[in-house]
Amino acid sequence: MSGRAAPRRVAILAFDDVEALDLAGPYEVFTTATRMHARREPSAPAPFTVYCVGRTGAGLWARAGLRIVPEACFADAAPPDVLIVPGGVVDAAMACPETLAWVARAAAGARVTASVCTGAFILAAAGVLAGGPATTHWEDVDDLRARFPGLDVRTGVRWVDNAPGADGPGGALFTSAGISAGIDLSLHLVERLTDRALAERTARQMDTPWNPDPHTAPQTLPPHPAQAPARMPAR
């Protein structure tokens, strides 16, 4: 990153009924990483600039009533280097041609595209996530498999990195498990795009545990219910 002249643009999709932490977790990671980088290298360019993008410039309601006002809309958003697609109740977003078209267009030009939780459904509906390994919230794994049978949907992982070692035009593709796993994935992206030290410093600043091994689930997770209902739209 030391030779980079401009920060990487990180665009986070915003839509009604987005899961608040799916959006806010990555936002906090990338903005905190930028602050920590400035402390470490005050004269170096910032690694990231972060903004939310909605279909229009109007305010949106996240799940549970949090109000979000995107900084940009589909018509005027700067092309992202990193595209983050959060989840939540995604039926309306999946059924919106404008949303799917923007996601497909933004992903085509991004160096990194990543989904959090049920954001994987949006990526798949947009044709961005068309095959290979992927993951989503544990409660929605069966639904993702049923709707998009070409995907190899993984369980027991915090995130899936579809392009180990890749960072270039054409797009490395990532998916995370549910909600808080988006923080883990975002720290992984900070490591991939900058370095391990900055990712670890960011996690310390956020006072959040981070294990760079995606196959290690947090110890605080209870066992999954044996009979979990398929209820993505209403979770």
pLDDT (0 to 100) of residue 227: 45
**What is the structure's pLDDT at 222?**
52
Q: Long-range contacts of range 207-215, CB-CB < 8 Å, 24 or more positions apart? A: 208/183, 210/183, 210/184, 211/158, 211/184, 212/187, 212/188, 214/157, 214/158, 214/159, 214/160, 214/161, 214/184, 214/188, 215/156, 215/157, 215/158
User: What pLDDT, on a 0 to 100 scale, did the predictor assign at position 228?
Assistant: 47
State how far the Cα of 81 lies from the Cα of 202, in Å rounded to an integer: 20
List strand residue ranges (DSSP E) for the chain, in order. Answer: 8-13, 48-54, 60-61, 67-68, 72-73, 82-85, 112-115, 132-134, 151-153, 159-161, 172-176
What's the topology of domain 8-217?
A: Rossmann fold (3.40.50)
Q: What are 43's two structure tokens?
A: 């004269």
What is the gyration radius of the CA atoms in the chain, in angstroms? 17
Secondary structure (3-state) at 152: strand
What b/e string do you get for 3-24 counting C-beta neighbours within 10 Å, with b at 16 or more? eeeebbbbbbbbbbbbbbbbbb
- Rounded distance, CA 29 to CA 41, Å? 18
The string of DSSP letters for 12-61 reads EE--TTB-HHHHHHHHHHHHHHHHHHHHH-TTSPPSEEEEEEESSSS-EE
Per-residue model confidence (pLDDT) at position 214: 93
Strand-pair category, 112-115 with 82-85 = parallel
What local confidence, expressed as pLDDT, does residue 44 receive? 94
pLDDT tens, per residue, the chain with 235 residues:
345 678 999 999 999 999 999 999 999 999 999 999 999 999 999 999 999 999 998 999 999 899 999 999 999 999 999 999 999 999 999 999 999 999 999 999 999 999 999 999 999 999 999 988 999 999 999 999 999 999 999 999 999 998 654 444 457 999 999 999 999 999 999 999 999 999 999 999 999 999 899 987 654 445 555 444 444 555 4
Residue 232, pLDDT score: 54
Q: What residue spans define the domains of the chain?
A: 8-217
Contacts of 42 (CB under 8 A, 6+ apart): none
CA distance linking residue 187 with residue 76, whole number of Å? 28
